[in-house]
Amino acid sequence: MISVNQTFIDETSIVKEMQYHDSATHADSKNKASEVLIIAELLKQRAIELGYVDQDVDITSESGNEFLEMLIENEVDIPKATDADCRQYFKSNPTKFITSPLIAARHILLSAAPDDAELRPKLIDQAKTLIERLEPSLSLFSTLAEMNSACSSAKVGGELGQLSKGQTVPEFERQVFNCPVGLIKVPIETRYGIHIVVVDERVEGKELPYDMVKSRISNYLDEKVRRKSIAQYIQTLLANADIAGFDLAVSDSPLLQ
């Protein structure tokens, strides 16, 4: 039985909360649910103590969240990012403020299910054979795409058009966007199968000016500091609380997620 300053959290509440916490095991899910309910109860008790809510409020409801925000606003000192903070972050993270590169590419897709362990090795060998045929003459690509590709782009010689990051699946993007112009000499494996790819054109991303990204940086830093400040506030409440029936050590509160 879990108690928070002599207020009990029953098993029914924990089971109900578990539906919001997918985990590898039942025990992990139950632990996460218990942590959330303990922290929520502590915040509710503090809000009651300060006169923001009454005993019957459900702090997870919309009205309860309003009082929770009031509690945080009045109890937690959350500094705002200065222009100097934003400029320092911009200077220290130049690769985060570059436009997505653009590529024009063609592909041949040899289709296979993600879990087809028997077919995929065979298709990799087939892809290697096709790459060997293409190396001396890329003029064959359209013909080979029409003959072999399982993608609808086969009708247009495998053309994918202009691509930016985020338009294709991550496993395709990670490899193709790091390749130079020309035939990629190894097959690319994705959830859809095995790809033979040609990068026809590549336009590198451009650095964005500070003024264009300042508000984005400011919002990011403010949210980061807000989460840290609230986590520290919760840890203070936990340190001063009488909690029985559960060993709680919060470093990244699930409530903040």
251 — pLDDT class (breaks 50, 70, 90) = very low
Average pLDDT in the 173-197 region?
96
pLDDT at 62 over 70: no
Token pair in block for residue 122:
């065979």
Return the H-helix or E-strand segment holding 160: strand 159-164
The secondary structure of 200-233 as a DSSP string is EEEE---BPPHHHHHHHHHHHHHHHHHHHHHHHH
Question: Residue 64 is which amino acid?
Answer: G
* pTM, rounded to two decimals: 0.62
Task: Give the pLDDT of residue 256.
Answer: 45
Can you state the percent helix, strand and coil of the chain, rounding each to 5?
50, 15, 30
Task: Give the pLDDT of residue 71.
Answer: 86
Rounded to 5°, the CA angle 247-249-251 comes to 160
Task: Give the pLDDT of residue 107.
Answer: 98
Q: What is the pLDDT of residues 79-115, one digit of tens each?
A: 999 999 999 999 999 989 999 899 999 999 999 999 9
Q: How many angstroms separate the CA atoms of 241 and 236, rounded?
A: 9
> What percentage of the chain reaches a pLDDT higher than 70?
93
Q: Which carries the bigger pLDDT value, residue 150 or residue 56?
A: 150
> What domains are there in the chain, each with its CATH number?
2-82+212-256 (no CATH), 99-203 (3.10.50.40)
Q: Residue 188: phi, psi to the nearest 5?
A: -110, 125
Give the alpha-carbon dihedral of 44, 46, 50, 52, to 10 degrees: -20
**Closest by alpha carbon to 227, among 193, 255, 189, 247?**
255
